[in-house]
Amino acid sequence: ELKVEQNPLFLSMQEGKNYTIYCNYSTTSDRLYWYRQDPGKSLESLFVLLSNGAVKQEGRLMASLDTKARLSTLHITAAVHDLSATYFCAVDAFYGGSQGNLIFGKGTKLSVKP
Amino acid sequence: DAGVIQSPRHEVTEMGQEVTLRCKPISGHDYLFWYRQTMMRGLELLIYFNNNVPIDDSGMPEDRFSAKMPNASFSTLKIQPSEPRDSAVYFCASSLSPHSLNQPQHFGDGTRLSIL
């Protein structure tokens, strides 16, 4: 059974600082997704990572994927308050069973303070 | 482009009542997913469809839950009878084939369900 673990689950950081969120998964997968959720809102797709070594950047966020280590990271550079949200990673469970099934981590609640 | 449309946005009802949640996927998407989100359990997949056919319903908690997709543009999730522990936010999502490159699931705004 595919399991996805994120850490930390809660992150409070100051504006201007850098930090990394980690996403580990337990079985082989070739695609990983990062989503953002604001309080009371829907999930917004941030990145789709499709292969080992994939790196994608959007503004102050950069995501990478290491399929051999079964690890993805979401790096935040010079955080600003607008980045405050909950960030989820999700792994395609195709190799573990159901095609198209995404297994989500528990989410990292990020709070950026002035 | 219209996104995934869910209705109602909020539902408050008494236990024992039937609840029906509705979803219209993005046109052209052939996969549809129903999720439930709670503080305790996070985001859980309940069931998903491909080309209107249920593929995996192993996440449906019990027989009180049922889902249908009568056509490519409409799906329902029904709870009968409802119980307080069913209170959660229910999301519908749709996508093209997951193995089409760069195709994430697109989520609706969710239905916030409260069972009293």
Mean pLDDT by 10 residues, chain B (116 residues): 92 97 95 94 92 92 94 97 96 81 85 97
> Where do runs of H (alpha helix) occur along chain B?
none
pLDDT reading at A97 higher than 90: no
The confidence score (pLDDT) of residue A50 equals: 82
Q: What percent of chain A has pLDDT over 70?
A: 94
Q: Which of B41, B60, B92, B99 has the highest number of chain A CBs within 10 A, making it the mutation to test binding with A?
A: B99
Do the Cβ atoms of A110 and A81 come closer than 8 Å?
A: no
Of B58, B102, B109, the CB nearest to A42: B109
Contact residues, chain B to chain A, C-beta under 8 Å:
31, 33, 42-43, 45, 48, 50, 55-56, 58, 91, 93, 95, 97-99, 101-110
**Nearest alpha carbon to residue B33 among B77, B99, B87, B63:** B77
